[in-house]
Amino acid sequence: MSDLSGTLVGDDGPVVVFCHGLFGRGRNFSSIAKALRPDFRSLLLDMPDHGGSVWTDRFDYATAAGLVADHLRAGVAADGPVHVVGHSMGGKIAMELALTHPDLVDRLVVVDISPTGSGEVSEFEHLLTSLRRIDLEGLASLGEADRQLARDVPQPSLRGFLLQNLRRDRTTRAFGWQPNLELLLRDLGTVTDDIPSAAGEETVPFEGPVLWVAGADSPYVTAEQSPTMRRLFPRTVLLTVKGAGHWVHSQQPETFTAAVRHFLHQ
């Protein structure tokens, strides 16, 4: 049995594997996966410590990429490489996967993240702490959880995204978090840091085609990060999407889907 949980969307065509970001889950890419049919099949993976996937003892990108590699090698990539799309934290996992298991990756799409990180944790620390503040004992409904979270997170859409991770046990009716909040908070510095393969000049570059998608209004892809990205991924093409911040695929879904489809067909 695999340590990772995933859903396959579509019946025909090459496989595209989606790796989501922090606080996310594979199904966040459901609409993109449906839009890519019938040309492609999509595997929507829950990353380690998220969704229905395994909890680990510590978070690091080498371990996460290894778990994804094991899942792909035993499944959709058993007969050859697949395309991989990764956003934010999932983009770093996808990059580490391509660099350490290049036989599994055909084309790579990295969405609004770079192999080097800012190390800035305050925003994510605030969100993780806010989720942990919700009193799950005796919680009656998601609506009540939303009201508690509103004290710290005023944006309704952001609260909705975060609360997708709250699940009710069918037997006990008790609420619990699917993501490993304690571990993610403890290891947040690693989540926002460089991927391991970015550290050494001896890293063998990934020679496959790479589409690097940036939101025009996002701070996560900068000119200073470009040399490292192009050293590790020499066949990188940068696409900056207007009218999009960090969540390019949800803020400009048609533009994003068209760009991914065109890139994968080349």
Domain boundaries defined on the chain: 6-117+194-265, 122-186
Backbone angles phi, psi at 66, to 5 degrees: -65, -40
197 is catalytic: no
Length in residues, the chain: 266
The string of pLDDT tens digits covering residues 137-166 is 989 999 999 999 999 999 999 999 999 999
Candidates 97, 70, 60; CA nearest to 6 is 70
246 is catalytic: yes
Strand order in the sheet with 236-241: 6-9, 41-45, 15-19, 82-87, 105-111, 210-215, 236-241
Higher pLDDT: 20 or 173? It is 20
For the chain, the average pLDDT equals 95
Catalytic residue among 88, 114, 197, 218: 88
182 is catalytic: yes
Catalytic residue among 182, 207, 262, 265: 182
pLDDT at position 119: 67
The string of pLDDT tens digits covering residues 235-247 is 999 999 999 999 9
Q: What's the distance, CA 66 to chain centroid?
A: 15
**pLDDT reading at 118 higher than 80:** no
**How far, in Å, CA of 42 to CA of 55, rounded?**
24
Instruction: Give the N- to C-terminal CA distance of the chain in Å, as an integer.
Output: 35
Positive or negative, the Cα torsion across 242, 244, 247, 250? Answer: negative
200 contacts 232 by C-beta, under 8 angstroms:
no
Catalytic residue among 71, 87, 246, 249: 246
Domain 6-117+194-265 matching CATH 3.40.50.1820: the answer reads yes
